[in-house]
Amino acid sequence: MTDARDAEGDLRDPDALLRRAGVQGNPDRDQHFLVDDRVLDRLPEYALEAEFDLSHVLEIGPGTGALTDRLLAVADEVTVIERDRDLAAFLREEFADAIAAGRLTVVTGDALDVDLPDFSACISNLPYGVSSEITFRLLPRGKPTLLMFQKEFAERMAADVGTDDYGRLSVSAQHYADVEVVEPVPKEAFSPPPEVESAVVRTTPRAPNYEVEDEEFFLRFVKAVFTQRRKTLRNAIRNTGHISGLDDADAPVAAISEGKTELDPDVLSKRAGKIPPETFAALATVAAEYGLDGGENG
């Protein structure tokens, strides 16, 4: 079967794709198909205006291919990862020409488990239930992304220090990239409509303006401290050694308090939500130096 265009080469109609696939979204399976033509058409535009390298675009959760169709219009090559075997089979039939031309690859599997291709950018309407796990599989790859999230999640990703939304997600995401919310998306843009509002987030990879020796420990330390965001850093660090993995959670606090580090001791009286990422990096360095076996206190 050749590609089934909807009208003399026009982009495919998302509702027609749903009919051809014979499927309906299933909220219990985290399936909400993006069907608003205007939103679908704008997604590649956001990538083009940011000068994404579109030589090989990765799409996670393509569903019936409404976004896939638009990505093929701007990208040299597209790889999609679809966990639903029936939808993956439909995509192979619907986009047979693009596959035959070597421009589209359909991978059946879970995006958290399969090997990711060497993509140049990722543009996706992610399954919301695993959006965080997928995002933090993508960001370390250092490639630009344009991703659909729950609006609340999107705003926390992009939040500035000192704001109500600023937290572990903000620090962790912005460790890898500049993060911006480019468009809110209403529930009605999906079939079936989800219970939450959505938003499109664009990430542009860049190196942080600080250094960390152990990235895994840094991210774990940030996670730990934010579990007690209402407490001062002095208490949050001491109380969360079981999460951060510190062998002696009191030692780094003592070192800072006694002026043994370059950090101002007053930082310990602040709360996590008031601390910029570079200060977290400095805190994590001290925590590892004094609080892990083999460090200054080991």
214 phi and psi angles, rounded to 5 deg: -130, 100
Q: Which distant-in-sequence residues (6+ apart) come within 8 Å of 216 by Cβ?
A: none
Mean pLDDT of the chain: 93
> Token digits for 179?
């993060």
* Interval 44-65: pLDDT, tens: 999 999 999 999 999 999 999 9
Angle 176-181-186 from CA coordinates, rounded to 5°? 140
As a whole number of angstroms, the distance between CA 198 and CA 189 comes to 9
What lies within 8 Å, CB to CB, of 225 at 6+ separation is 233, 236, 237, 240, 244, 272, 280, 283
Stretch 78-101: mean pLDDT, rounded? Answer: 97
Q: Tokens standing for 237? A: 């660090």
Q: What is the pLDDT of residue 127?
A: 87
In this prediction, residue 31 has a pLDDT band, given cuts at 50, 70 and 90, of: confident
Rounded to 5 degrees, φ, ψ at 149 are -130, 170
- Percentage above 70 pLDDT, the chain: 94
Beta strand 57-60 pairing with 177-185: unpaired
Cβ distance 11 to 72 under 8 Å? no
Label residue 298 by pLDDT band (50, 70, 90): very low
Alpha helices, H only, the chain: 14-21, 37-49, 66-72, 85-94, 96-100, 131-138, 151-158, 168-176, 215-226, 233-239, 241-244, 250-257, 277-291
Residue 1: is its pLDDT beyond 70? no
Three-state SS at 143: coil
Task: Say what the pLDDT of residue 8 is.
Answer: 41
For 145, the token pair is: 């992304």
At residue 229, φ and ψ (nearest 5 deg) are: -65, -20
Nearest to 109 by CA among 80, 131, 82: 82
In this prediction, residues 33-46 reach a mean pLDDT of: 96
Residue 294 — pLDDT band, cuts 50, 70, 90? low
| Cross-sheet strand order for the sheet of 145-150 | 104-108, 78-82, 57-60, 121-125, 145-150, 198-205, 177-185
111-114 CB contacts, 8 Å cutoff, 24+ apart: 111/60, 111/61, 111/81, 111/83, 111/137, 112/137, 114/81
21: pLDDT strictly greater than 70:
yes
pTM of the model: 0.91
- Fill in the DSSP letter of residue 210: S
Between CA 136 and CA 140 the distance in angstroms is 7
The pLDDT confidence band at residue 9, using thresholds 50, 70 and 90, is: low
Task: Give the span between the Cα atoms of 253 and 183, in whole angstroms.
Answer: 42
Spatial neighbors of 89 by CB under 8 A, at least 6 apart, are none
pLDDT at residue 108, rounded to an integer? 98
